[in-house]
Amino acid sequence: MVGCLAEILSLEKDLEVMKINLSLRSDFNLIEAFSLLDRNCQSSVTRTELRAALEDLHAYFSEDDLHLVFARYSHDG
């Protein structure tokens, strides 16, 4: 259990470093990046939209993985 928690902390730290590095790039724009996911221009992203956008980037996730992403980052599930 402790090993799992340590791995989670390490991954979240790595993710934060990647987010900071990305935000410092002159060619990165958060609004344009979000628009790649928000295909219906509704200022929100559904699981279907997220899956399609990720598949366009050749990144494939299971339903369980998508559920975890939404459980972690969605304000309304």
pLDDT tens across 7-57, in order? 999 999 999 999 899 889 988 888 888 888 888 888 888 888 888 988 998
Q: How far apart are CA 42 and CA 52, in angstroms?
A: 16
pLDDT at position 13: 95
The three-point CA angle 56-10-8 to 5° equals 75
pTM of the model: 0.61
- What six digits make up the tokens of 21? 């590095």
Element counts in the chain: helices (H) and strands (E)? 4, 0
